[in-house]
Amino acid sequence: MTAKKRVAVLVSGRGSNMQALVEAAHAPDYPAEIALVISNRPDAPGLAWAKAQGILTLALDHKRYESREHFEGQLQSVLDLSKIDLVALAGFMRLMTASFVDRWRDRMINIHPSLLPAFKGLRTHEQALEAGVKISGCTVHFVRPEMDDGPIIGQAAVPVLASDTPETLAARVLAAEHRLYPRALALVARDQVQVDGSVVHIQDAVYAQFNQQQVLGSPSL
Ligand code: GRF
C-alpha cells in the first residue's frame, strides 16, 4: 500500500468538517491521515476537540503577527516541519496571499456551503434563499487566490424547502458537507484527480461512482 498523505486541516471555529475528516481517516484504507490541526483562533472549539483526540494541534493567532506574510511564513514553516502533503481548509476564515496559495497550488482544498460558482463569500444561505433557488448544496474545490474560486473537485446537492430559514438550510447543507469532504479529500489523496486549467478531471470509473453518490435523490443520501 502506498503511504498515506499527510494532511493539515486549518480551522477557525466549530470544526465539524475537520471532525468528519478525522473520523473518515480512522478507516484503515483511507488514503490520508490528519497529521495536524491548526487554528488562527486559539479559542476555536475545533482545536480543543482535535487536541482531545490526541491529534497534534497548533494555535497560530494571526493577531500576533505584524502582517499576513509573517503569519503565513510561520504557517509554512510548520507545514514543512510536519512534512504535510495536503492542506484542507475547513471553516478557515483568513484570506491568504497569492504567493502562499500558489505555493500550495493543487495541494490545498476548501469546502464552501453552496453550489459554486453561485453564492461566494459570507451569508451563503441567506444569498441562496434571497435568490429563490430550489436546490442548494456544497462544493469542494482547489484553492486559488480569489475567494471561493478554483477548480471544482466535487459537489453535493440538497433541496431547499419552502419553510427554510438560513439556519435550517445551513444544517441540511452541513450534513452534506460532512459526507462530501472526506470523499473529495480521498480522491485527491489517491491522486485520482487531474487539474486541467479550471477543470478537474476524475478517473472515469471513480467519477461515475463518486458523482452518483452526491446527486439529489441518490439512495445513499
Ligand atoms: C462550513 O459551512 C464550511 O463550508 C464553511 O464554513 C463552515 C465551517 O463549519 N467554509 P465547521 O467549522 O466545519 O463546522
Domains and CATH numbers, the chain: 1-104 (3.40.50.170), 111-221 (3.40.50.170)
Closest CA to 153 of 105, 204, 207: 207
pLDDT of amino acid 210: 80
Residue 220: the pLDDT is: 47
Residue to mutate, 123, 177, 180, ligand 1, most ligand atoms under 8 Å from C-beta? 177
Q: How many CB atoms lie within 10 A of CB 19?
A: 20
Q: What is the model's pLDDT at position 221?
A: 40
Residue 207 has what pLDDT?
87
Question: How many separate helices (H) and strands (E) can be counted in the chain?
Answer: 7, 9
Does ligand 1 have an atom closer than 6 angstroms to the CB of 178?
no
18 CA closest ligand 1 atom index: 13
pLDDT at position 217, please? 54
Structure confidence at residue 211 (pLDDT): 78
The helix or strand, by DSSP H or E, that contains position 103, with its residue range, turns out to be: helix 98-103
Residue by residue, pLDDT tens for the chain (221 residues) are: 689 999 999 999 999 999 999 999 999 999 999 999 999 999 999 999 999 999 999 999 999 999 999 999 999 999 999 999 999 999 999 999 999 999 999 999 999 999 999 999 999 999 999 999 999 999 999 999 999 999 999 999 999 999 999 999 999 999 999 999 999 999 999 999 999 999 999 988 888 888 766 665 554 44
